[in-house]
Amino acid sequence: MQIHDLSQPAGWLPLVFLGLLALAMLVYVILDGYDLGIGILLRRAGDEEKDMMIASIGPFWDANETWLVLGVGILLTAFPIAHGIILTSLYLPVTLMLIGLILRGVAFDFRVKARAHHKPWWNRAFYTGSLLASLSQGLMLGRYITGFAPGVASWLFAVFVALALAAGYSLLGSCWLILKTSGTLQLRAVRWARGSLWLTALGVAAVSVVTPMVSSRIFDKWFTLDNLVWLFPIPLLTAGLFLWIERLLRAFPDRQAAGDTRHDWLPFVISAGIFLLAFIGLAYSLFPFLVVDRVDIWQAASAPKSLMFLLVGVVIVLPAILFYTVYAYRVFWGKAHPLSYY
């Protein structure tokens, strides 16, 4: 592999934009993941519960999608070669994801003002859009991990990852409801979280097993003796978080009955931690390639002058996104209240 001079803009700028891309995608997966998960769970709830579930994400859901726009924008402008390869290979699931996101966006607003006999249709549209977007993202992830390899086995793996990611989003959504609601809905969210927990765990395990099998380079990064020693805490901590959240969810009904709300936030933090550790492991495996063993970040990057110009814009835009994200969550902190546009 070619050694790059990190003292020069051509060396360090691609690393900076890779970090920004990783940040945008990680924040998107966690934040939009929970509201996609709530959309998937919507069909299991009663009418009043559906309204409260929607109210719990009302102030946040559209801002959460800003991170996807930022991430795709960085990929397009900073790494156009990789963008062309990835989006060309994932044309169909990307199209399906966009259809799903549009459908749920329209349904979110229309269900609030719809007449009573139309509301179930918009609820189903919100559920369908959320499920379609989640499955599409999982399919994209599975295809990306295998380097867009042809063959039945590669596609079956991608389909399994799609199902597991939908379960992971359901886990995030359930834990968000535990944080934002109370009473019967909160207890139902606990059951939903426990129901989605182990498919999520199987998905993380499958990605962890298959990724080193895709590339001998990735296998060597994980399983040489020196690396294995300091990387072992990642799967160990991930397994520990799964066991911790399962134990916490099992004990939750007794805590609620005792009026203990001090740890309502903890399941969501643990589930986000699982996604964070999985993301770290995958990022370590793939680095420095944006397309597995084909195109690295320096090959894919725009010209240094272009990246420097883009960096000025990112320095302005990113703090603004961070500010209004933190501000919105600060203002609407606490339990959710019924949402109304009247």
Looking at residue 341, its pLDDT comes to 52
Q: What is the DSSP letter of 334?
A: S
CA nearest to 97, candidates 157, 137, 141:
137
Burial letters 156-190, b for 16+ CB under 10 A, else e: ebbebbbbbbbbbbbbbbbbbbbbbbeeebbbbbb
Looking at residue 340, its pLDDT comes to 60
pLDDT of residue 2 exceeding 90, the answer is no
For 265-321, write each residue's pLDDT tens digit: 999 999 999 999 999 999 999 999 999 989 999 999 999 999 999 999 999 999 999
Whole-angstrom distance, CA of residue 108 vs CA of residue 39: 10
304 CB-side CA count, 13 A: 9
Pinpoint the alpha helices (H) of 215-265.
216-223, 225-231, 233-257
- CA distances, 135 to each of 16, 86, 220, 272 (Å): 30, 17, 31, 19
CA nearest to 38, candidates 131, 135, 152, 136:
131
Burial class (CB in 10 A: 0-12, 13-18, 19+), 306: middle
pLDDT of residue 98 exceeding 60, the answer is yes
Looking at residue 1, its pLDDT comes to 57
| Residue 51 pLDDT class (50, 70, 90 cuts) | confident
Domains of the chain: 14-331 (1.20.1630)
Choose the most confident range, by mean pLDDT, from 8-17, 50-59, 170-179, 218-227. Answer: 170-179
Average of per-residue pLDDT across 45-71: 87
pLDDT of residue 342 exceeding 70, the answer is no
Looking at residue 118, its pLDDT comes to 81
pLDDT of residue 12 exceeding 60, the answer is yes
Q: Where is average pLDDT lowest: 44-48, 113-117, 207-211, 260-264?
A: 113-117
| Residue 131 pLDDT class (50, 70, 90 cuts) | very high
Q: Which residues pair with 289 in a beta bridge?
A: 296
Average of per-residue pLDDT across 256-264: 84
Say what angle helices 119-145 and 91-113 make with each other, to 10 degrees.
160
Q: Which residues contact 295 (CB under 8 A, 6 or more apart)?
A: 81, 82, 85, 289
Question: Which residue type, as a one-letter code, is found at position 317?
Answer: V
pLDDT of residue 253 exceeding 70, the answer is yes
Q: What is the pTM of this model?
A: 0.93
pLDDT of residue 334 exceeding 90, the answer is no
Mean pLDDT of the chain: 91
Looking at residue 7, its pLDDT comes to 75
Coil/strand/helix, residue 118: coil
Q: Tell me the residue length of the chain.
A: 342
